[in-house]
A and B are shown apart, each in its own frame.
Chain A
Amino acid sequence: MRIIDKTPKVSRRNFLAGGGAAAALVISGSAVMCPVEAWGLDVKVLKPETMRTLIKLARDIYPHDRLGDRFYAIAMKGYDETGQKADAEAFVAKLDAKAKAVNGAAYANHPWEATRSELLRELQGDAFFQKVRGGLVTGLYNQPEIWPLFGYEGESAAKGGYINRGFGNIDWL
């Protein structure tokens, strides 16, 4: 059957570009940088550390190892706004306080997802957590750039539908 190439392609955006798997995010001045993916996100209102944590938070809520951090960064950059600042900073402070109580490390610096998930589970009733989770449903999954990475082909009518493109070509049954 006709299958979809799920390898990430290098895409270019004005502030985000590059390809490859998730990699460490570093803070440089007012920016969150991803050297491996070769992108940087200039943070205007939030502390850059807060944005870095929010990107980690987004990945921990909907962890997809096939998605680079840039997709999570796109989904979260809307929180870098005056109207969101107080809630975002407060939530991250709460999260870091809980994380530091475990072994002194901030949330984003706990290496195991399982540890971070446990911390998140304690905060999942928090309104900001729910806002982030709900927002990611469209903020992450409605980015057409990620669709092919999951083998979803999106728009089809302009391509003539699937009548000649494998609507019924399953070959393993």
Chain B
Amino acid sequence: MVAKFELNNEGVVVIIGSGASGGTLGTDLALAGIDTVILEAGPRVEIEDFVNDEWKSFSQIAWLDQRTTSGNWRVHKDFAGLPAWIVRAVGGTTIHWAGASLRFQDYEFKAKTHYGDVKGANLLDWPITLTEMEPWYDKAEDRMGVTRTNGIEGLPGNNNFKVLKAGADKLGYKECHTGRMAINSAPRHGRGGCQQIGFCFQGCKSGAKWSTLYAEIPKGEDSGHLEVRPNCHVMKIEHDDKGKVTAVVYADKDGKEQRQKARVVCVAGNSIESPRLLLNSASKLFPNGLANSSGMVGKNYMRHMTGSVYAIFEKPVHMYRGTTMAGIIRDEARHDPSRGFVGGYELETLSLGLPFMAAFLNPGGWGREFTSALDNYDKMAGLWIVGEDMPQEQNGVTLHKEVKDKNGLPVPNVHFDDHPNDIAMRTHAYKQGTALYESVGATAIYPTPPYPSTHNLGTNRMSEKPKDGVVNKWGQTHDIKNLFIADGSQFTTGGAENPTLTIVALATRQADTIRNMMSKGEL
């Protein structure tokens, strides 16, 4: 039975966002018997509505609200209004994500300790350790059905993986396999096995890929303690004169302003929208925005050092067939400053369909040099580079001074400058990717610039001391005890790994924290 809560019910936990963190947290709270409302800005788009068509899907699920960009990152030049490629729908970016589910490594929780002072970087250790996170990773891997954990077999390798693997072997890489993927290799937990459809980014038509849309939220709803309200865009969080949050104000599906009272508020809107909301909630008591006594709300934005390498071969590959990202090389994901940079990176298979390849291979490019790559589309293999980027204080989300959205609120500007460490790492990764594909006979190589960001992190970072960040080790804001941040914006540093597994592990842990605090009367 799906719950329906009154707007003036001040006993509910309100979660803003329904993706990896919000969907997981809301489901866990509901299953613990806690009345929860999830407010989701986007519509509810179900599996049967997903389309195997890149542009159609993009207009169906992508977050297309106006945003602006600045900085020296190439995304600003190529996609000035689209800093991030994320989802505005129930399930959030777990509809679009590729499924790669990797744990942070020990040293990555202690970047400051291990990397030392990196000029221009605002490094900090997480206030938690891998050991503390392990039980939560265990739970997350089990609920998401991550391959190569819990006795779940790896996915079979597709053509793109086989090219990657052949190159990895030639280069002497040791850890190359079809990944730890939250995609069922066989039916499990009521969802089927992967049909090798491709189009993982457009929403999984078979439901084999874990998404909060169908793997979590319905369970929460069945408990009778969870209400998900789609098409409700939160504009402001309100508080009382003691500084406790009391309600959220949102625009409903008709654009009408509504006010939902709340006992606890958890912000899970992704690393651009979450700090924007805190900044837009500035008040007399909190003139710099909610939970911003440190001044760190919106700062230290990270997006992972990314890039792609596409290669052309003499013979066909058809890289787009099958699971998009079921292929990884982990040998470079280590801290080894002898390579000329701190931190490490993963190499993962990636493919785009012809329409997106045309848009992303070399944005702005034209002429025969550009088209000769696409002419060999069927003979192309590709990999994505995901590496740890440096948190920099000036990189981040600010409120635009002039441009307003349809609710009259300032749109977010996303500023990003590549750090020299990011550039050195990308150069190294391009070199390795090139060598890898040349070792198996590539006739042309295309080092491809970063796409709009899918891994948006760090803008409400977790810190031991309130002066260094926005939230404590539980994701609770240092300043306001009944205000939590659940999403990837709480990442202190980014690690080399795709962030979703860590986001889910943190959300599961946060649900447990909130439940405990409630039962002790602390919230």
Contact = CB atoms under 8 A, between A and B. Distances in A.
Given A3-B378, A150-B377, A166-B321, A137 B199 contact: no
Contact of B195 (A6, A64, A150, A160): A160
A40 to B, nearest CB: 26
A173 B166 contact: yes
Interface string A157-170: 11011110111111
**Max chain A CB contacts within 10 Å: which of B318, B323, B355, B374?**
B318
Given A66-B375, A117-B367, A137 B358 contact: yes
B52 A156 contact: yes
Contacts, number: 131
B375 A167 contact: no
B359 A157 contact: no
A151 interface: yes
B163 A133 contact: no
B454 interface: no
Contacts of A140: 358
A4 B321 CA distance: 12
A61 interface: yes
A8 B159 CA distance: 25
A122 interface: no
B52 A155 contact: yes
A63 interface: yes
Interface in B344-370: 353-355, 357-359, 364, 366-368, 370
B440 interface: yes
Contacts of A165: 321
A173 B378 contact: no
Contacts of B315: 172
Given A138-B355, A141-B354, A142-B55, A150 B318 contact: no
B-side interface mostly: loop
B378 A152 contact: yes
A163 B205 CA distance: 14
A163 B196 contact: yes
Kindly name the residue among A146, A147, A152 whose own CB sees the greatest number of chain B CB atoms within 10 A: A152
B318 A1 contact: yes
Contacts of B197: 156-157, 161-162
Interface string B372-399: 0011011100000000000000000000
Nearest to B368: A63
Interface in A39-90: 60-64, 66
A113 interface: yes
Contacts of B357: 141
Contact of A62 (B161, B366, B377): B366
A153 to B, nearest CB: 8
B166 A150 contact: no
A111 interface: no
Contacts of B378: 3-4, 6, 150-152
B230 interface: no
A154 interface: yes
27 contacts: A4-B378, A60-B367, A61-B367, A62-B366, A62-B371, A63-B368, A146-B354, A151-B318, A151-B377, A152-B353, A152-B378, A155-B51, A157-B52, A161-B197, A161-B198, A162-B158, A162-B198, A163-B195, A163-B196, A166-B159, A166-B321, A167-B156, A167-B322, A168-B157, A169-B159, A170-B163, A170-B317
Given A138-B359, A168-B157, 13 more contacts: A3-B378, A64-B375, A124-B366, A141-B355, A151-B316, A152-B320, A154-B52, A156-B198, A162-B195, A165-B321, A168-B159, A170-B163, A173-B166
